[in-house]
């Protein structure tokens, strides 16, 4: 089996200045849907590579009760090649068709309890997501393109009208029409047709620095606007060809730093074509920094925060109902912390040891640390964040208490809902998604 590990550590920009406060009057709260529940979005990222080391399978979303509490699953990620087109295959570090649609699952590992067969064209995560949707009508699955590691060629793909048309057409052909490359008996024309309900653009970041090999240009801002328009145009055109008309959703993951917003996003224009955006509500500070700090506070003085991110997007013309606040299902950690006290704002020696990547730990593991008696749980209830500290090692993270504060904020501000990175960080019984679901229902 091939394994790929990607780090989604979107390092905060250098500017820490706050903009003037926004007037209190915001958009009205979300309305109720046909089931009597508030129509807040609950968007969870499912990581392609989580099926390996973490052994987090699509079926786990069903058995944990998580699927019942989701409106959207964003499948992370689809890649863009040097030719500016969406692609898949089995290329270490670049594509994993084995996980996506080739890997067979037995009856015990399948959502529907039926083992995959050699002759079926769709297996792997894609087939399991299809089965999950059949069991949970109304659940939508979007393909997320890019991410921190795979935004390398976005700027090239979006550079000209011709390149944008070719890029978008390739993504629709692969994911929306489901024309997968043949891999033995898997794949082929229409193999994944009907699986994806839209596209999520995770270009990190147009117009400003991202991962080390990610290309960015000053003209990315206008090109991203045009790319969003091209996706909307082609998605709508394809929908009109179907016997049963549908609306394909188009969303984007967008940054917290004002400098990055202004460098890459014409907010008023892109919001006309996007169904909603998910806001970076985490990685405000990361374990690579030399001083411990909050990574996902709702409020903060002279620093990044969830509230300031919301206000920055509102000030630039985004409707509140189209803003979905991101929350982490993981923590950022430091070790070698000196200076005493509660550990926050103190010098650190480096990222803390962790299960999968230094300085990055799933919530389910941090919950065990909190219960171990070795760590003290600290809370800033007013500002909406928590951290663990044992005198040497500190982890900043969100737990159910913090999420209740954040969901109350979402309801009070009339926002579109909550997004979380990533589903595999939750406990086996879905503790965090349960807190979000209850919070958005006002319970």
DSSP state string for 362-412:
EHHHHHHHHHSSSSEEEEETTTTEEEEE-SS-EEEE--HHHHHHHHHHHHH
Q: What is the pLDDT of residue 70?
A: 98
- Regarding beta strands 376-380 and 385-389, do their DSSP bridges make them parallel or antiparallel, or are they unpaired? antiparallel
Q: How far apart are CA 102 and CA 182, in angstroms?
A: 10
Q: Within a 10 A sphere around the Cβ of 73, how many other Cβ atoms?
A: 26
Query: Residues 410-419: what's their mean pLDDT?
Result: 98
- Domain residue extents for the chain: 41-329+399-440
* Mean confidence (pLDDT) of the chain: 92
Pick the CATH number of 41-329+399-440 from 3.40.50.2300, 3.40.50.1220, 3.20.20.80, 3.30.930.10: 3.20.20.80
Query: 111-143: buried (b, 16+ CB within 10 Å) or exposed (e) per residue?
Result: beeeebeeeebbbbbbbbbbbbbeebeebbbbb
Mean pLDDT of 281-288: 98
* pLDDT value for 29: 39
Phi-psi region of 312 (alpha: psi -120 to 50; beta: other; left: phi over 0): alpha
Does residue 146 sit in helix, strand or coil? Answer: strand
Q: How far is CA 346 from the centre of its chain?
A: 30
Number of C-alpha atoms within 13 angstroms, CB side, residue 191? 24
pTM here is 0.92
pLDDT, one tens digit per residue, over 64-114 is 999 999 999 999 999 999 999 999 999 999 999 999 999 999 999 999 999
How many C-beta neighbours within 10 Å does residue 44 have? 25
Q: Which of 2-16, 76-90, 365-379 has the lowest mean pLDDT?
A: 2-16
pLDDT of residue 2: 32
Return the pLDDT at 16: 33
Q: What is the mean pLDDT of residues 222-231?
A: 99
273 pLDDT exceeds 50? yes
Q: Is 204 tagged catalytic? A: yes
d(CA 71, CA 138) in angstroms, rounded, equals 7
Phi, psi of 61 (to 5 degrees): -65, -30
Distance between terminal CA atoms of the chain?
A: 43
Structure tokens at 46: 């499912």
pLDDT in tens, 337-362: 999 999 999 999 999 999 999 999 99
pLDDT at 394: 98
Q: What confidence tier does 443 reach under pLDDT thresholds 50, 70, 90?
A: confident
**Rounded CA gap, 376 and 277, in Å?**
35
Helix (H) or strand (E) holding 326: strand 323-328
pLDDT bucket at 14, cuts 50 / 70 / 90: very low
Query: Annotated catalytic residue: which of 131, 204, 230, 361?
Result: 204
């Amino acid at each position: 089996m091939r394994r790929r590990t990607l780090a989604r550590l979107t390092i905060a920009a250098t500017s820490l200045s706050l903009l003037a406060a926004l007037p209190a009057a915001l958009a009205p709260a979300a309305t109720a849907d046909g089931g009597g529940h508030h129509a807040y979005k609950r968007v969870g990222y499912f990581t392609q590579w989580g099926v390996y080391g973490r052994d987090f399978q699509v079926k786990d979303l069903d058995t944990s009760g998580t699927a019942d509490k989701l409106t959207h699953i964003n499948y992370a990620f689809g890649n863009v090649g040097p030719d500016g087109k969406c692609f898949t295959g089995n290329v270490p570090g670049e594509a994993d068709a084995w996980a996506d649609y080739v890997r067979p699952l037995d009856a015990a590992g399948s959502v529907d309890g039926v083992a995959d067969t050699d002759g079926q064209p769709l297996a792997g995560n894609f087939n399991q997501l299809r089965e999950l949707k059949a069991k949970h009508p109304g659940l939508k699955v979007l393909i997320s393109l890019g991410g921190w590691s795979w935004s390398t060629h976005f700027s090239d793909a979006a550079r000209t009208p011709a390149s944008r048309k070719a890029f978008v057409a390739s993504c629709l052909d692969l994911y929306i029409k489901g024309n997968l490359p043949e891999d033995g008996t898997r794949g082929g024309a229409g193999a994944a047709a009907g699986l994806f309900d839209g596209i999520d653009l995770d270009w990190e970041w147009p117009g400003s620095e991202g991962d080390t090999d990610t290309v960015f240009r000053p003209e990315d801002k206008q090109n991203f606007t045009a790319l969003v328009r091209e996706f909307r145009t082609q998605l709508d055109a394809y929908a009109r060809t179907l016997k049963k008309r549908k609306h394909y959703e188009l969303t984007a993951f967008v940054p917290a730093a004002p400098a990055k917003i202004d460098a890459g996003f014409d907010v008023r224009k892109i919001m006309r074509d996007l169904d909603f955006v998910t806001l970076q509500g985490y990685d405000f500070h990361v374990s690579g920094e030399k001083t411990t700090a909050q990574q996902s506070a709702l409020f903060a003085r002279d620093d990044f925060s969830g509230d300031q991110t919301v206000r920055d997007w509102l000030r630039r013309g985004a409707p509140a109902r189209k803003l979905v606040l991101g929350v982490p299902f993981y923590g950022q950690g430091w070790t070698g912390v000196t200076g005493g006290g509660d550990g926050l704002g103190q010098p650190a020696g480096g990222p803390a040891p962790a299960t999968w990547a230094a300085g990055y730990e799933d919530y389910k593991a941090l919950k065990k640390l909190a219960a171990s008696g070795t760590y003290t749980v600290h809370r800033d209830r007013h500002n909406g964040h928590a951290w663990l500290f044992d005198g040497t090692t500190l982890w900043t993270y969100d737990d159910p208490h913090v999420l209740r504060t954040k969901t109350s904020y979402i309801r009070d501000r009339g926002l579109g809902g909550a997004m979380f990175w990533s589903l595999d960080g939750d406990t086996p019984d879905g503790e965090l998604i349960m807190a979000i679901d209850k919070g958005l229902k006002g319970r």
